[in-house]
Amino acid sequence: MPDDPSAGLDALAGGAGGPGALGPLLATVLDALDAGAARRGGPLPAGHPGRIAALVADALAGAGGAEALARLTEVLARGAADPADPACAAHLHCPPLAVAVAADLAVSALNPSQDSWDQAPAATALETALLAELAALVGFDPAHAAGVLTSGGTESNLMGLMLARDQKLDGIVELDGLPAGVRPRIIASEAAHFSVQRAAALLGLGERAVVTVPVDRELRMHPAALERVLAETSWAGNTPIAVVATAGTTDTGAIDPLHTAADLAARYGAWLHVDAAYGGGALLSDRLAPLLDGIARADSVSLDWHKLGWQPAAAGIFLVRRAETYVSLARRAEYLNPADDEQAGYPSLLGLSLRTTRRADAFKIAVTLRTLGRAGLGRLVDACHLLARGAAEAVRAEPELELHAEPVLTTVVFRYRPPGEHDGAALDVVNAELRRTLLRTGRAVVGRTELPGEGPGRVRLKLTLLNPHASAAEIGALLHEVVRIGRETRPA
């Protein structure tokens, strides 16, 4: 045993010695993941959040030196909600593919940063090549498109709306500089992701700048309603700078009418951003891709391969149809992209991202796409879609459950509602409480949401089915568990 207790603990992951130093540490991690999952024994740890926090605090207090990695990894696994467990089906939180996770290790070890070529020679070229493939997948002409990897749909939506603001307001983007009477507005459906409002606030437009369009039961924007909202916005003297169409709402997977949105955005001179963070996965499936017909007319698009793409977070993608519209971030930083270096052929991705240091998230996506191919990934999408259709049928067949709408992609929205008359507020309490019971007992992670509208009776449960290896029987058992706990929870 060496004299210095910290000997070797500061070994680096790169260089000639890196793989040798990593080997035993990775074995430690795999053992600890195994041990932690065994102690958890289900989709999530049983117990109140306070209990999990106490386990973590204990591990942090007790872990030190060479033992820390094993001890903390075990508690992370023991206290995980594991999306690879079929009973963990709440969120757009996918179980990552082993091959994507392995590829991500290479990125952690080499640590390329995409903000300058000389921090990421191969990774810069690889991201550029991958984005061209993804642009083609969307239907953009890769020779004219541009894009960047992002932290997810929230960042991608922000970027789309930033470009819309800067294009449509002719560069007048100063709080104190807008001519009187110019009131920029963003049009999005009631069921669009809340990141649209967040982006509006961040961009200095204010949340009030988002004008919402009513949706149907499936949470799809009405074409006529979009037309009316645009007309009213315009009549009122406001400037609709962007239309956000959602291709795959978080709850129901509903896809807004993309051709209508493109026609109307063009008529009103607005930017069209398509938020396909979830529904973009349908592009991988021959069966489902037609649902996104029209997406190629968007000015910008969000895709998230950490949803239907089975990547560990983050694997967000932002694409624009015409590279020349991608101007807001052009910036010369002498230490990153001096002009004479660019003239000498050194490419720079700096002007494409909101970030400076940036992990090479493109790599795991490229490895996954090459390993499984579009067809292989499409089979995983189809498997999840079929699981959702089967789950909807099971809900319909169960008299104590109520289906909200047929699944569009891979989610099923429903609630516990035994036959008879019910008070909406009481049903809300029962559904919220039964979901917490499933969490507290460590039995299942079921989603919960509220439908747009006012008043009680809006709480719904939700299964977000992203595990292609889950079986219909496992999902059936999960629904039975919901019913069983629902009965126990039902007010007298």
Residues 252-281 that bind a copy of itself (CB under 8 A): none
| Total interface residues for a copy of itself by CB under 8 A | 172
From 259-267, 286-294, 432-440, 481-489, span contacting a copy of itself (CB under 8 A): 432-440
CB of 262 vs a copy of itself, minimal distance in Å:
26
Site string for a copy of itself, 207-246 (x = CB under 8 A): -xx-------------------------------------
Q: Is residue 195 within the footprint of a copy of itself (CB under 8 A)?
A: yes
DSSP E strands in 385-470: the ranges are: 401-403, 411-416, 445-450, 459-464
Q: Is residue 153 within the footprint of a copy of itself (CB under 8 A)?
A: yes
Q: Is residue 156 within the footprint of a copy of itself (CB under 8 A)?
A: no
- Amino acid code (one letter) for 379: R
From candidates 39, 42, 111, 490, binder to a copy of itself by CB under 8 A: 111
Pairing of strands 88-89, 445-450: parallel
CB of 232 vs a copy of itself, minimal distance in Å:
17
Residues 321-380 binding a copy of itself (CB under 8 A) are: 328-329, 331, 333-335, 338, 340-341, 344-347, 354-360, 363, 366-367, 370-373, 376, 380
CB of 282 vs a copy of itself, minimal distance in Å:
18
From candidates 10, 170, 421, 454, binder to a copy of itself by CB under 8 A: 10
Q: Is residue 386 within the footprint of a copy of itself (CB under 8 A)?
A: no
At residue 255's C-alpha, the angle toward residues 254 and 260, to 5°, is 140
Q: Is residue 33 within the footprint of a copy of itself (CB under 8 A)?
A: yes
Query: Considering all CA atoms of the chain, what is the largest pairwise distance in Å, rounded to the nearest integer?
Result: 80
| Whole-angstrom distance, CA of residue 159 vs CA of residue 273 | 10
Q: Is residue 82 within the footprint of a copy of itself (CB under 8 A)?
A: yes
From candidates 83, 147, 248, 281, binder to a copy of itself by CB under 8 A: 83
| Whole-angstrom distance, CA of residue 365 vs CA of residue 104 | 9
From 4-12, 219-227, 385-393, 396-404, span contacting a copy of itself (CB under 8 A): 4-12
Q: Is residue 18 within the footprint of a copy of itself (CB under 8 A)?
A: yes
Q: Is residue 453 within the footprint of a copy of itself (CB under 8 A)?
A: no
CB of 381 vs a copy of itself, minimal distance in Å:
12
Pick from 260, 256, 255, 320: nearest CA to 281: 255
CB of 150 vs a copy of itself, minimal distance in Å:
9
Q: Are 327 and 348 in contact (CB under 8 A)?
A: no
From candidates 87, 126, 131, 146, binder to a copy of itself by CB under 8 A: 126
From candidates 1, 3, 143, 174, binder to a copy of itself by CB under 8 A: 174
From 178-186, 219-227, 319-327, 399-407, span contacting a copy of itself (CB under 8 A): 178-186
From candidates 441, 448, 476, 490, binder to a copy of itself by CB under 8 A: 448
| Whole-angstrom distance, CA of residue 391 vs CA of residue 387 | 6
Quote the tokens at residue 300: 């910008």
Residues 274-313 binding a copy of itself (CB under 8 A) are: 304, 306, 310, 312-313
Judge if the upstream peptide bond of residue 314 is cis by omega within 30 degrees of 0.
yes
Q: Is residue 34 within the footprint of a copy of itself (CB under 8 A)?
A: yes
Query: In sequence order, which residues have a C-beta less than 8 Å from that of residue 270 and are 6 or more positions away?
Result: 164, 168, 187, 230, 240, 241, 242, 243, 264
From 113-121, 227-235, 253-261, 397-405, span contacting a copy of itself (CB under 8 A): 113-121
Q: Can you tell me whether residue 7 is helix, strand or coil? A: coil
Q: Are 403 and 392 in contact (CB under 8 A)?
A: yes
Q: Is residue 471 within the footprint of a copy of itself (CB under 8 A)?
A: no
Residue number, 8 or 269, with CB nearest to a copy of itself? 8
Q: Measure CA of the first residue to CA of the last residue in the chain; give whole Å.
A: 66
CA 207 → CA 9, 451, 490, distances in Å? 49, 20, 39
CB of 402 vs a copy of itself, minimal distance in Å:
18
CA 478 → CA 86, 164, 445, 483, distances in Å? 8, 44, 10, 9
Q: Is residue 492 within the footprint of a copy of itself (CB under 8 A)?
A: no
| Whole-angstrom distance, CA of residue 122 vs CA of residue 27 | 28
Query: In sequence order, which residues have a C-beta less than 8 Å from that of residue 184 and are 6 or more positions away?
Result: 165, 168, 169, 205, 209, 238, 239, 241
From candidates 11, 136, 224, 477, binder to a copy of itself by CB under 8 A: 11
Residue number, 10 or 421, with CB nearest to a copy of itself? 10
Residue number, 262 or 478, with CB nearest to a copy of itself? 478
- C-alpha 334: how far from chain center: 34
Helix axes 98-110, 362-397, angle to 10 degrees: 150
Q: Are 378 and 391 in contact (CB under 8 A)?
A: no
| Whole-angstrom distance, CA of residue 104 vs CA of residue 360 | 9
